Chain A
Amino acid sequence: MTGKPYNSKSGVLLQVDNLRLNFHTYAGEVKALDGVTFTVKEDEVLGLVGESGCGKSVTALAIVRLLPENAYVAEGKILLEGQNLLNISQNEMRKIRAHKIAMVFQDPTTFLNPVLTIGEQLEEVVLLTTPDRLTRVTTASEQSGDLGSGNEKWIKRREDATRPQTSPELPRSERKKAASVDVLKQVRLPDPLRTLGQYPHELSGGMRQRCMIAMALVRNPILFIADEITTALDVTVQAQILELLRELKHKLIGSTLLITHDLGVVAELCDRVAVMYAGNIVEIAEVNELFAKPLHPYTQGLMRAIPIVGRPLERLETIQGSVPDLIHPPSGCRFHPRCPFVFEKCRVEKPQLLDAGEEHKVACHLYGEKNHDANCT
């Protein structure tokens, strides 16, 4: 898979290629992302896991181009359906955010406007997707004869969506309302009509997060980015949201990039997992493979360091030290100061993400070509 160019038949939706991203700060340059490379395939859930400060959220923000002002991309490409999102204008990017990528964040309270009702906020988004607008898009592309693969799929997805068609004779406001109620039903809010008239503070955390998901869903995005969406919620409410995502997966949501630090959530929802450490992807594998056979010392350490219900342990194994300062990141492999298997090459040379099995890549010198036979039995 390495270095394979994008083609629409390969089923790759999003390709992040060697993304390097720095932050200007008074203390110095924070080298937040150091050559991040991964792909999100069509109709899959890719989990992005790592501890806080490893660059998970920054990667997501780079994809939607909502980075803070002091951040800049030094190198790399972000290809959505083959189009580099880093080269297009703000205006085009706005359209992509409106129709193709939807993102939901950790804390729903911050992202809902406290002085507008849920209905007002949701209808604003619904405006983008009302049926008359949809027909206009269809006819426009038909007339121009430009039925690109991406566009076609996008329109098809809209038709597939199991929402009852509101008749076009109804007034516009009624149609907006009907569509809003509909999407709130899909996220299993108990009383959608009442919720439309309520302000965010009247809702519980779980309900607010459902509203955020509804706003994302109503656009029928081809890529759904979920950044720690269950972290702020209680276990029982988290279970409800996970249940909802599982239900919506493959039905309304196309591909999902699920960002989390919780390996439990990963195991529940993801098809493939990418593990991040200090701005690098250290390992990518299919979910069962990763949990059964983690290769990178960091992934192994992480799995041994968490207490798991049903796995009684006398002591937890620890990863010594703490996450490095990214203004002065360690040379070579960024994990080497904490790695139990460190050897000379690790201090000098940065390991590349290489194949270590079917659909399993790891960035570690232990599995390099020379040492491959010695260490992988």
Chain B
Amino acid sequence: MEKKIMTQTVLEVKDLKKWFPISGGLLGRVGGFVKAVDGVNIEIKEGETFGLVGESGSGKTTVARCIIGLLEPTAGQIIFRGQDITKLKGMPLTRTRRRLGIVFQDPYASLDPRQTIKSALTEPMTYHKIVASEEDALRVAKNLIQRVGLNEDHLYRFPHEFSGGQRQRIAVARALTTSPEVMILDEPTSFLDVSVQAQILNLLSDLQDELNLTYLFISHNLSVIEHVSDRVGVMYLGATMETADKDTIYRRPEHPYTHALISALPIPNPALKRERAVLSGDIPSPVNIPSGCRFRTRCSYSTGYCAEKEPLLSARDLGHAVSCHYNLRLSSPIPLTEPAYKT
């Protein structure tokens, strides 16, 4: 991989919050909030893949939905090319949305079963008035369907005629119809089998090189995130715990949650013996987030101070930010030996 020049920030998420009210009772009074996203800070640079990783319920998908404009954030800013897009409405919003593409997790739910692939691909182009005529739209669609590894005949079929991997290819093609600058990939391979997953990951990496795309890759799969990302953000209970380049996150994490998360990952190498930091308990409910540091209830290093004051995501080194009061010296969560089976 040639060194990419990653300087300009394309997308920045600042202190993003999305609280969902819990209403109930006779009068529909709001009894509390599900704080799905509660302080997310990420910065994505031109041409890179930013991996957003976290366990289920950590708010990854809500972040994606806020960025794309499917949800309105409760607080915070989403700055795309220098402009806060949370405040946009009407035409400017439509024009901005065109520049952001999204691929959803479940290719069985994200394609309309009664729409042919041709219609699914040409509709966004005509809606956004990107093409001059129907013929142009069809030409672009043909081009795209080949680019994702299918052929022209597939345009005239319906989603049920395709396998999961093929559907995900179609979903990628559909996201590309508006020539987006940033693609948000929300768990694009978690519904697929491993042999098909590899095909999609390779396709995405080819497209990125060809079209100079910036990716926000969301996944709970730590191995996939390590494979695709340049930089990684780790989320826990709605907030960013640590962001850094990939090697720092996987080899020299400074947040105890990142450390535990990576050391919990089963590695396909039976010869490997390692000590793991197994976290006790479960993720607390996002309705009652612990006071102070939200990770303190499961953290083996927590002190009284952690319960009092919430740590801020603050820079440690260049491009490395950690949300922890302490400067912990943690060992590498993965042994630095070679895996048993080399390719």
Contacts and interface: CB of A to CB of B under 8 A. Distances in A.
A52 interface: yes
A319 interface: yes
Contacts of A292: 271, 340-341
A75 interface: no
Interface in B218-271: 220, 222-224, 226-228, 250, 260-271
A38 B194 CA distance: 24
B339 A307 contact: no
A322 interface: yes
A108 to B, nearest CB: 13
Contact of B264 (A236, A270, A291): A236
B261 A235 contact: yes
A7 B89 CA distance: 77
B193 to A, nearest CB: 4
A266 B280 CA distance: 23
Interface stretch (A113-121, A134-142, A296-304): A296-304
A308 to B, nearest CB: 6
Most buried by A among B163, B195, B227, B337: B195
Most buried by B among A190, A265, A267, A270: A267
B334 interface: yes
A161 B1 CA distance: 56
Most buried by A among B198, B201, B202: B198
Contacts of B227: 307, 313, 316
A264 B227 CA distance: 16
Contact of A240 (B261, B263, B280): B280
Interface in B279-328: 279-283
B285 to A, nearest CB: 10
Given A307-B224, A316-B198, A322-B196, A291 B279 contact: no
Contacts of A236: 55, 260-261, 264, 278-279
Contact of B334 (A268, A305, A310): A310
B129 interface: no
B266 A242 contact: yes
Range for the number of chain B residues in contact with chain A: 35 or more
Nearest to B280: A240
A48 to B, nearest CB: 15
Interface residues of A, number: 50
Given A207-B282, A318-B199, A304 B270 contact: no
A319 B202 CA distance: 12
Interface string B1-28: 1000000000000000000000000000
B335 interface: yes
B212 interface: no
A262 B343 contact: no
Given A308-B223, A311-B338, A267 B279 contact: no
Most buried by B among A52, A243, A306, A311: A311
A204 interface: yes
Contacts of A51: 193-195
A309 B165 contact: no
A235 B271 contact: no
Contact of B267 (A243, A309, A322): A309
A307 B228 CA distance: 9
B120 to A, nearest CB: 21
A309 B250 CA distance: 8
A206 interface: yes
Interface of B: 1, 55-56, 163, 165, 193-199, 201-202, 205, 220, 222-224, 226-228, 250, 260-272, 276, 278-283, 334-343
22 contacts: A51-B194, A235-B265, A237-B55, A264-B268, A266-B270, A288-B271, A288-B340, A291-B340, A304-B343, A305-B195, A305-B197, A306-B197, A306-B198, A306-B268, A307-B223, A307-B228, A309-B222, A310-B250, A310-B334, A310-B339, A318-B202, A323-B195
Given A291-B341, A305-B195, 14 more contacts: A52-B193, A239-B264, A239-B265, A240-B280, A263-B268, A265-B266, A270-B270, A307-B201, A307-B226, A308-B339, A309-B226, A311-B338, A318-B198, A322-B193
Closest 7 CB pairs of A and B: A264-B266, A307-B227, A239-B264, A263-B268, A234-B55, A305-B198, A316-B198
